[in-house]
Amino acid sequence: MDFSGQVAIVTGAGRGLGRAHALAFARAGAKVVVNDLAGSDGDPAAAVAAEILAAGGEAVANGASVTDRAAVDAMVAETLERWGRIDILVNNAGILRDRSFGKLTEADMRDVIDVHLMGAFHCTQAVWETMRAQAYGRIVMTTSASGLFGNFGQANYGAAKLALVGLMQTLSIEGARYGIRVNAIAPSAATRMTQDILTEDVLAAMTPERVSPAVLFLASRDAPTRCIMTAGAGGFEIAEIGMTQGIMVTGDPTGFADIIARRFDEIADRTDAIVPANAMEPPMHQMAKFAQTA
């Protein structure tokens, strides 16, 4: 992978996955905006930027909160003033507020959605017109197995993470004509967010550095678009949102519920399942089946 001459913004890049992504882009030749919040334990973004500079790369630290649209806009403006373009955005910033659903507060829900979903919205929209104007852009959303498949105690996190897939699906369609490709990474790694969840031997194998290669690929010149890639411990897979062939029922619709119940296993059969390219394909699939029975 060669990112020479390209500019990448990585949010939440002071630690964990974001730090690994930022370092990987810098090693591959990109100029990197290392975005993360400073706190009582120091300025992690500045530390990562310094690490890149010490290795001979180009980087700048930025402390904008992804929940603050004005600060995000300023980050983008400063990047353009400094380097003249933005080629890559990795929406990595995130937080956890894990609780079982019955104990989940509205603040827990809003805080997680504000950082993961709204943060990605702010950052993506802030770079969108720049990428359209230069007819090139690569955006990587960070989803999660919790959003794709569910996980106890993470209703807020899972909802926000699956929402990012929905955002990716639409933006990949809207960005296609402008050379903008949008993908999602579902990482499994040992970070501050997972250190209390995974065992020590598993944590040792699941380093952030084993996820970052997938992010580089999804942000590369030859990247696909509308791809959900899972990555962890050196394993890489594709997750898909698809639909089965299903059945077509005719006649009086008042009896359809009973037919669905009797034929549910047939409806759920994944043989020849399809992955729709857009929201129009499911109804078109249904209408095609209807036409065959007419």
Q: Which residues are catalytic?
A: 157
What is the C-alpha separation between 86 and 170, in angstroms, rounded?
A: 21
Q: What is the DSSP string of the chain?
A: ---TT-EEEETTTTSHHHHHHHHHHHHTT-EEEEE---BTTB-HHHHHHHHHHHTT-EEEEE---TT-HHHHHHHHHHHHHHHS---EEEE-------B-GGG--HHHHHHHHIIIIIHHHHHHHHHHHHHHHHT-EEEEEE--HHHHH--TTBHHHHHHHHHHHHHHHHHHHHHGGGTEEEEEEEEE--STTTTTTS-HHHHHH--GGGTHHHHHHHTSTT--SS-EEEEETTEEEEE---B-------S-GGGHHHHHHHTHHHHH--TT-B--SSTTHHHHHHHHHHHHH-
* C-beta atoms surrounding 252 within 10 Å: 7
Q: Which residue is it, tokens 């943060």? A: 119
What is the C-alpha separation between 165 and 171, in angstroms, rounded?
A: 10
Q: Which residue is it, tokens 């992690």? A: 44
